[in-house]
Every structure is written in C-alpha cells, then in structure tokens.
Chains A and B, each alone.
Chain A
C-alpha cells in the first residue's frame, strides 16, 4: 500500500499530543460489540412503535379508522394527529424572502410525500406493531403530484395552500458588475448540471426511545441525533414539558452525515405518544422507512455561465440555481441549504470579481431535503470545475494551467471573495501542484493516448476547492447563512484522583471526537491521554451546544472550547501547586502528570497530589476564590476555510457505460492537524461517499411521486470493490483566527471527489464532443454521451 506522506507549508507546533497519530480511544468497546446504540436501550414496561405511512404522494386525508388495529392482541394504542396535542416543526432559518412551511408531526389534513407519518401504533413488540399498522385504514382523495420544482401538473393543487405556486424562495444578488463584463467578454462558456437526489444513508437508521414520567412530569429521551440540545428545545415545545424537565441522552451513534441534525417528526411523535400513554415507547427505523421518509439531499439544477478573456482569465460568472425542496422546507436548516449555499460559494478558489446569481427553491411531493455532508458545495464545485475544463478545451489551454492563472495566490491572504467570504489562509496552488505531481499528469497524457489507440478510454479529472469550516458566527455572517446560532461551550472537570472528564454538546457520530478532544485536553493539561475521558452527551449535564455536531465544526468549536477550559484548569492547578511548593506558579512546568519546579533541583509533585490536597486541605481551599477544578468555556471561532484538491483517474467502457475508478489522489489542508488517523479517516471516507454520489446513488421517483428506491438493492452505496485505494498527502496552513489554527475536515472529501470523477469521465470521452451534465453518471448516462458522440459523427 502506498505510504501516506506529509508535507507542511508552515512550521508545525512543537511535538505534543496535538498532531500525534494515536489510535482511537472509542474503538475497544465498538470492536467488542459493546457499543451502545439507541436500538440497544431498553426500559421497564417499554412498548414498541411502528408508523403508518402515506402511500400516495399528494392527497387529502378523508378519514382514518384505527378500530381494527386497536383490537389486535398486544396492541396498546393506535394514535393519529387527533389523539396528540398539535405540534409542528418549522425551520429556524431567518434569510429574508424565505417562506415558512410548518410541518405537522403526524399528517393532519393532507399527506404531501410517500412515507409521511400518518399514525403510530404502539404494541408489545415491533412485530405486532407492524401487523397492526397494516390494519389502520386511511381514506385518501388523491391529488396530482408536483414531481419537479417549478413544474405544475395539470389540475395542479398547491402543496401548501398558502403557496399557490409552490415556490418558497426566488431571489438573486449581484457582486461587481457581471452584466457589463459579460457584454464585453471575448468568450462566454455555458454549463448545465442536474444533481439528483441522494441521501446520507448512515448504516444506523434513525431511532428514539422516549419515557415520560407523569408523576415527575419529566421526559427522558434517548436518540440517535447529532444535536441533543436542539432536539431538547423541539421536544419541549411539542410536548409542553418545560425544557429543564426534558433530558436527551445519547450514547454511540452509527453515522449521521447531516441526516440526524434535525428534530425529526417521528422523534417528536414518539415522545408525544409516551406522554399520552405514560409508558416508555421505542421506535427503531428500518431501512425502507429511512430511504423513503428520512430527509433526502441534493436535488438541484445549476445553470452556469463563465466569461473569460483570450488568455483564459475569468472575468465574470453567473449562476441560476433551482432547488427541489421536497414537501416541506425542513427544520434542519430550510430547503435553501442546498441552492443558497451553492450560490454563495460558487466562485471557489478563483479570483472572480464580478458574479451574479439567482436562486429559486420549490416544494415537490417528495421527502424533504436536509443537510448531507458537503451540502450545497458539491453542486457548485462540480458545475464550476466541469465548466472550467470545457473552457480550457475550447481555449486550447491546459487544465492545470488555466486554474493556476486564475487561482487565489499565497500572498492574497486574507483574501475577500466578491461574495464576502474572507479566506484566512490556505494552500490552493500547492494543493493543485501536489495533485499534478501525484497523478503523474505528463505520463498520464501519454498513457491516455496509447490507451485510446487501443480502444480504451481513460480520463483524469481535477477538483481544487475551498470550504467554510467551523461555522462560527463570523463565518455565518460572511456566507449570509443564518439557520443555527453558533453557541457552544465545553466543560473540563478534574476529579480528586487527578483524572479529567470532558462534557460537550457536540457528540460523535463516529468522527473520533472522544479521541481528538482528549488529545487536546491532555496536551494542554500536561497529563497522559489515558487520564482524560469524554463523556456521552446528556443534555441535562452537558454545556449547551445549540447547533450540535454539523458543518465541519466540532473539532474547531468544541476543540477550541476544550482547549480554553483546559488552559483555565491548568492555571488553577499550577497556582495551587505554586502555593504547595512555595514557589512562583509561573515558572512551573507540567508534563506527563508531573509538575516540576525547575529552580529547586527539579522539585516535583504529581497533578493528582496537588488536586488531592486542594480538595482536602481547608487552608489551600480557603485561599481560592472558587476552589474547584472544573472549567467551562464558551467558544465562537473566527471564520476559517479549509482547502484541498482531489484528482481522479477513471476508465470508461463505451459498450456498457460502466465507469471504473482507477485512482483517486488527494492533497488536503485542514490547518493544524490534531490526529492524522482521524483526519485521513474523514477525508478518505468523505471521498468514498463522493464516489457514491458521482456514480451510484440516486433516489428515484416516478411522475406520480412514487419513490422507486426503497432498498439497498435499488439505492446503491459504494462497496469495497467500487472504491479504489486512496492516496493522500497533507498540507498544513493553520488558521490565524481559530484556537491553535484548527480547521474542520468532516466534509472535505465528499465535496471534492464528485467533480474530479465527473471531470475524469468527461476527459475520457472528450473525443466524442459530449459533456457530463448530471450526477450521478449511471451507466445509461455514460452510454448516452457515447451515443450523442456517434450521432455527431
């Protein structure tokens, strides 16, 4: 296997736990089969729920009859919206011009997508609950389905009465003077790209256990979620149980990738069922439900225009973007999460001073769209990079060279893009050059010609990019995106034995947060890694994180908060140590759990001895204004942007339309690296998901809004045989605006890989004159490119 090598564009921090490759601390329990996922939670008297879900995509509910279901032995209750307090979910986005689309927790008068929850059956087992769900009789009056954003079927009935044209947003903005630049431009290139619906598809589906105690008036909820505090707010609002009496607890989560950010209607419905029945209720989603009714993602059409001069300098860019919202603008972030983010990051790593966009988003009778790793960025990245390649071909300029001519340069930092993003630091040119070297570009060109001569079609695609990470308040202001507040704290607590427990509201869904945060705290405190644990998140004790784990932000935001709290704690420990050792605390050093006074023949005490004395001796305690060893710190980072470049080599079979990915190489830069093991895992895993989005994953609906992809035999995730060995190199440009220069990397690979693969297909078939105009590129789409080429002769 190829060795992973590292380079650095800036001097790295002195050796310590931050930046060290350590194996993950969470792995032992997961490997032993002792992970604790929500499906593993059980309670006395617990009952099991199944949802009755809509089969029509758009219909009025005329009646619901639960009589037969309720009489089945083992059934505890069959509940409809009429049996529960009215509760709705609304997105929290406050972008002007965005219409609100309140979503009932259970459908009340209408169903708006196949799979929408209509009723809940609670029974002694999931088996009985599913039997009974089939006995619930729902009488529907079917309505024509809106299957395409902005398209009205004959006999059109609006999805929401308040929105006669189904449009939830329709606005644009202009920067510089694109009209003038396009009018006078020597060359204008045009690109259309359709991005199909796909989804996060975490291996663990959604799930909730809710237990309402009528005596205490408290609601305990275990949930597979990325945002426990957000969920607590929504549960409180829906149930009427005061927020301090709602407790959201979570252990291991089997992947999220954005799908588990939202408070889901089903989660609230289960809590309301528990409140209504006074017993614990458990719902574990199955895959059919997840593919049909869990939020989808992507679903965009992008029309892009690029003006250049004769040397290929980018003069101006224009974008028109239409987003397919699904049946509601979902509470995770609103339907603008895809098209609006696409519009705002469209100029990428290039110097483009004149840019205009128009964004429209329309409701359709499909499952709502929510964030999924790389949200919005992927459409921008893929459309723009394909267009640049087409311009390069037309202008007769090499693709690397054309990008180099237009790229933001090292001495441009901090660089303010025309849309207002302030790129803090990065290695854009170096990442591009690294991928040029890794892909052996010159050799590849010869190989490609030889292959073509023997009837084989191989192609190379390149995809350099920059992405907002961390998503503090400043980043959101720059992007103009306001769907969640950046309000995160972390608590670092040392007990009497000198060991540390970290508590956070940004839980892990597999990213290795338990390890990386422990590394940060252990390094700052000067104690062994094994002396730090990160506890599972319990909203009743964890410091607030209003947003939770999302948007490549946990390492930056919680990492910073843990770092700052650990610094506070270190100062407090050293102050007590100074008193005990009768020396000036400022000269003490601490390493490996031992505090040393360099002036006194290296006199020393262990951290544990110091805190034990401080806990127990009143004379030490009384000297301290706040004699405890717990520190909580808030952190809202400055805006920071990670960057990377991905290169892909593919072989296209013109007969079958099959695409085989031969190589993927990547150079990534996420600033200060906490743990390379974790960074590579995020980057490589992200690229594999991007490969799925480029070649395999498509959620298909027919014209009636019926979903056709409800199993893993129809919705194809990449397996080990579609995914190549990834070759990765690291660059390191620490951010000047975040604690220790950390940037996020959670989404990176997913953003870059689709454009590289799409461009590689286009390159392999460049001789046909056909272009890539959609993702994913399924075999029939590749065949269509070949056939179009043959038709052109």
Chain B
C-alpha cells in the first residue's frame, strides 16, 4: 500500500472485522463507514452533531460519526447497526423490541437510536420512563413522537438477556 502525502492509513475493527484503508484525513468517520466500507446503515441527518442519526459505538461508547474524522478511528473497535445482530437475518432483541412496539416509521433515525439504546441498556437495568427519555434525548426522531421508542426500550430491557 503506497501512502500518498495527503493520505493516512486507518486500521480499524468494524463489526468484528479488521480493515486497513487509505483515507483523505478530512474524511469524516461517517463518510468513511458509508462510502469507504459501504456500511450505509449509518445515516446523516444534520452533519453537525445534533440529531444523532449517525451514532455508532466506538470502543463501546456511543459517538456521533459525523463530527469525528476517519483517522480518529485508528486502532479502535467500531460497531454500526449492521453489527448489532450476530446472525444475519435475525434481529437483536433491541431491534425486535423496536418492531414490536412500533418504535420506528421512516427508519432514518433508527440506526442511531438502536446504538444509543444498546449503550444505555448495556449499563442499566430497570430504568423508569424518565430515565429512558433522558437517555435517548440526544437523538431526534421526527415521525414517532418517541412513544414507541420509549416502549421499545422498556421491552428490550426485559427481553435482552445480558
């Protein structure tokens, strides 16, 4: 791999698979995931870090991939919505709960919510409605009015064996 002066090497483990890519250093992490790795489940809703649609997990913590640069992923582990379910064709209990509780409509904000909720439920059990609303307050949804999403988090809290 010949590195041009305006490129940097990024080595990153995404959804369990380690990849090595040359990138223009100003490439955002979101564009790298979407265009470089063709993981288009990560969506861009504002590109200034407010809406949360681009949320992914970076070493287990939720981050906004639209305001990170791809080189900042170097040496890290990233989980995107495509990596939530270990088995293709099956849904993770959080995803299943969103389906059962009508926690999505257009689906554009959904991947960001799923990863935010994954981080929250990884650390918490038995949260009440106010705590759940606080936990997801950094993600915008324009369709659902959040009611189905809150219900889905409550459901996943019960069904996800963790």
Contact A202 B129 (CB under 8 A): no
State which of A680, A685, A712, A725 has its C-beta within 8 Å of the C-beta of B46.
A712
A509: interface (CB < 8 Å): yes
Contact A1 B129 (CB under 8 A): yes
Which residues of chain B come closer than 8 Å to A684, judged between CB atoms?
Answer: 144-145, 147-148
Which residues of chain B come closer than 8 Å to A286, judged between CB atoms?
Answer: 44, 47
Chain A interface category by residue count: 35 or more
Contact A33 B102 (CB under 8 A): no
Which residues of chain A come closer than 8 Å to B121, judged between CB atoms?
Answer: none
Contact B105 A252 (CB under 8 A): no
Within 8 A of A (CB), among B127-157: 129, 132-134, 136-151, 154
With A28-B99, A33-B39, A34-B41 known as contacts, the answer to whether A203 contacts B104 (CB < 8 A) is no
Contact A255 B51 (CB under 8 A): no
Q: Which residues of A contact B (CB under 8 A)?
A: 1, 23-24, 26-28, 30-37, 39-40, 127, 201-205, 252-255, 257, 284, 286-287, 509-512, 677-678, 680-681, 684-689, 711-713, 717, 719-721, 723, 725-726, 749
State which of A31, A39, A284, A723 has its C-beta within 8 Å of the C-beta of B107.
A31
Interface of A: prevailing SS:
loop
With A31-B114, A203-B140 known as contacts, the answer to whether A720 contacts B107 (CB < 8 A) is no
Contact A37 B43 (CB under 8 A): yes
Interface of B: prevailing SS:
loop
What is the CB-to-nearest-CB distance from A712 to chain B, in angstroms, rounded to a whole number?
4
Q: Bound complex: CA of A30 vs CA of B40, how far in Å?
A: 11
Q: Bound complex: CA of A680 vs CA of B146, how far in Å?
A: 12
Contact B106 A253 (CB under 8 A): yes
Q: Bound complex: CA of A677 vs CA of B149, how far in Å?
A: 13
**Which residue of chain A is the closest to B149 with respect to CB atoms?**
A720
Contact with A along B86-115 (1 / 0, CB 8 A): 000001000100111010111111110010
What is the CB-to-nearest-CB distance from B153 to chain A, in angstroms, rounded to a whole number?
10
**Which residue of chain B is the closest to A128 with respect to CB atoms?**
B24
Q: Bound complex: CA of A99 vs CA of B138, how far in Å?
A: 44
Q: Bound complex: CA of A686 vs CA of B108, how far in Å?
A: 17
Contact B45 A685 (CB under 8 A): no
Which residues of chain A come closer than 8 Å to B145, judged between CB atoms?
Answer: 684-689, 723, 726, 749
Contact B50 A712 (CB under 8 A): yes
Which residues of chain B come closer than 8 Å to A27, judged between CB atoms?
Answer: 98-99, 104, 107
> 8 A-B Cβ contacts within 8 A?
A1-B129, A202-B108, A202-B142, A257-B142, A681-B144, A687-B145, A720-B134, A725-B147
Contact B140 A252 (CB under 8 A): no
**Which residue of chain B is the closest to A31 with respect to CB atoms?**
B95
Contact A677 B107 (CB under 8 A): no
Contact A720 B150 (CB under 8 A): yes
State which of B81, B91, B95, B108 has its C-beta within 8 Å of the C-beta of A254.
B108
Contact B99 A24 (CB under 8 A): yes
Which residues of chain B come closer than 8 Å to A127, judged between CB atoms?
Answer: 24, 26-27
With A127-B24, A720-B133 known as contacts, the answer to whether A203 contacts B91 (CB < 8 A) is no
Contact B46 A681 (CB under 8 A): no
What is the CB-to-nearest-CB distance from A744 to chain B, in angstroms, rounded to a whole number?
16
Contact A677 B99 (CB under 8 A): no
Which residues of chain B come closer than 8 Å to A287, judged between CB atoms?
Answer: 45-48, 51
What is the CB-to-nearest-CB distance from B159 to chain A, in angstroms, rounded to a whole number?
14
Q: Bound complex: CA of A511 vs CA of B81, how far in Å?
A: 22
Contact B108 A204 (CB under 8 A): yes
Contact with A along B43-59 (1 / 0, CB 8 A): 11111101101000000
